[in-house]
A and B are shown apart, each in its own frame.
Chain A
Amino acid sequence: MTALQIIFLITAVITLGAAAMVVITRNLVHAALWLIMTFFGISVLYVLLNAGFLAVAQVVIYIGAISILMIFAIMLTRRVQQDFGPQTNAAWPWALVIAAALFGGLIWIFSGWGNFFTQAPVMGERADPLRQLGMALVSPEQYVIPFEVASVMLTAALIGAIMVAWERK
């Protein structure tokens, strides 16, 4: 096992554990903080995949913006503190069976996919993934349509947020 694999395993365990805590914990703010831990773990995974820009963008957008929005939203709600009800209902064994079946099915599908052990092509010394991303975003034969549609979507989200949260005037 290489050092990289050990780091990956530790990060994956922490990320999954934090994700489980998001669901288990009864305190909403704690759930948000565990979610931030999950986001951070995912950003470390991006770094391990050599996707530095995505890693930092993950921190900036998910931790810096979306988590903050969630914490603000939690503070808006009437029951800030905790949830005291039971965390499972009578049908939890069925849910477990279905979830296990889904997980098994996914593993079965992916086991047929033979590309797990093929090495990613090594990028040249001069190739900067960031530059290629910048080129791809605005070049007509690549992602220019999704890129422009993203701006329309952001505008729609802005107008929607104002309609929802700003009912006066």
Chain B
Amino acid sequence: MLIEYLPIAILLVISTGLAALIVWIGNTFGPRRPTLRKSLPYESGMNPIGPGTRRMPVRFYLVAVLFILFDIEVVFFLPWAIVFRQLGLFGLIEMFVFIFILLVGYVYAWKKGALEWE
């Protein structure tokens, strides 16, 4: 029912507003004496070398890909988990086939070494 989402919408507005208010208060009451040294990005006391946003290793990308696949799989599980009592043997077997096919990919990733961080 739609009415159940009303408190969530209100909470979204209130929590964002409160957090923004806190940031604004801190901004208003704090002193403001900027100097160049103070405003430089912190780099263990050195002057920063080069831009702050750098290229990142491809490993992070692979972690995200693995995550997407398992995430979609898990989202498929959820509606099944609610009704599986009423499904009978067929529904159970269907889900195990689903899990099994994905396990093939998982075992492949493991054997290929994609789960390692090097």
Residues of A bordering B, CB below 8 Å: 4, 47-48, 50, 52-53, 57, 60-61, 64-66, 68-69, 72-73, 75-78, 80-81, 130-131, 133-135, 137-140, 144, 147-148, 150-152, 154-155, 157-159, 161-162, 165-166, 168-169
Contacts and interface: CB of A to CB of B under 8 A. Distances in A.
A72 B71 contact: no
Main secondary structure of the interface of A (DSSP, over half): helix
B13 to A, nearest CB: 12
B18 interface: no
Interface of B: 1-2, 4-5, 51, 53-56, 58, 60-62, 64-69, 71-73, 75-76, 78-84, 86-87, 90-91, 94-95, 97-98, 101-102, 104-106, 108-109, 112-114
Given A76-B58, A158-B66, 15 more contacts: A48-B2, A57-B75, A72-B56, A72-B64, A75-B60, A131-B82, A139-B91, A147-B76, A148-B94, A151-B98, A157-B65, A161-B65, A162-B62, A162-B108, A166-B62
Nearest to B75: A57
Given A61-B68, A72-B60, A154-B73, A137 B55 contact: no
8 contacts: A47-B2, A81-B51, A135-B83, A151-B76, A158-B65, A159-B108, A161-B69, A166-B114
A130 B79 contact: yes
Given A60-B71, A134-B80, A150-B76, A165 B62 contact: yes
